[in-house]
Amino acid sequence: MSTHVISLVSIGAHPTSGRPRRAEQDARAVELGLQLAGDNLQVLHAGDVEEPALRAYLGMGLEQLLVLEQPQGADALPALSAYLRDAGAQVVLTGSQAETGEGSGMLPFLLAESLGWPLVVGLAQVESIDGSSALVLQALPRGQRRRLKVRLPFLATVDNAAPKPRQSAFGPARRGVLHAEDVEIINDELLAVATLQPAKPRPKRLKVIKAKSGADRMKAATAKASGGGGQVLKGLSAEAGAEAILKLLIEEGVVR
């Protein structure tokens, strides 16, 4: 029995020119979906069916891409949630953050909450799917991996550690079909009153590495970070956990 996988895609933007293109992480979600489901993979986009950049996904070998057609400024969450609720998918893959629009990275979380599905953040690989659960690898900082067992169906955001997407070929991109489906249009009220501006990278804390040799400097740079004041909190109530997090944020100066 083949696995029913749906990959969600958005319109990306070239980092230098800003021209529309396939989104890098979404392309990895399509690549991972192709490895899991092959020709049975379904690719879904909420937006304009006439957007030329969508054909870059078709160029990866897809015969069809389904578009839930809605104008710019519409809220994609209700349309995607309604479609996925009845689609019967076992695995839904998406990038962690859009390259255009709001780019808040909240859509996967809101979508998983709406569907009542578990969410895996930073998916690197799906090792196996058996019965009602799947075994996956989650990417962690410094190249580490964590194996998780998650129940089906589930939604996952794909990390840059996932397989690199294949090149998009011109022939399949032109032959593929963009199929539009009418959905209820719901305006995104928050986006309508928001002011968008380019995101700025957050400053990182620097530590002074005192080492005499190159080997010592390399060891210090690649060593796993360890904090002396960390705590492992288990079996706490939601209120106690929230108090511990708030105390840490105040000590670090994040909250004043």
CB 20 within 8 A of CB 101: no
Residue 159 reports pLDDT greater than 90:
no
For the chain, what is the mean pLDDT? 87
Consecutive H or E run containing 111: helix 107-115
Structure confidence at residue 84 (pLDDT): 95
Structural domains for the chain: 5-193 (3.40.50.620), 214-251 (no CATH)
Q: Is residue 100 scored above 90 in pLDDT? A: no
What confidence score (pLDDT) does residue 208 get?
60
pLDDT at residue number 256: 73
**Which strand ranges, in their side-by-side order, compose the sheet holding 91-95?**
145-151, 133-139, 119-130, 154-158, 91-95, 5-8, 42-47, 64-69, 177-182
Q: Which residue has the higher pLDDT, 199 or 124?
A: 124
pLDDT, tens only, 8-37: 999 999 988 889 999 999 999 999 999 999
Residue 51 has pLDDT above 90, yes or no: yes
Q: Which residue has the tokens 């959905």?
A: 183
Q: Which of 61, 81, 58 is nearest to 9 (CA)?
A: 58
- What 205-213 contacts at long range (C-beta under 8 Å, 24+ apart), as own/partner pairs, is none
Structure tokens at 130: 């058996």
Q: What was the pLDDT predicted at 26?
A: 95
CB 8 within 8 A of CB 57: no
Please tell me the distance from the alpha carbon of residue 78 to that of residue 110, in angstroms, as a whole number: 10
Mean pLDDT on 194-202: 72
Contact 139, 145 (CB under 8 A): yes
Report the pLDDT value the prediction gives residue 62, as an integer from 0 to 100: 95
pLDDT of residue 223: 65
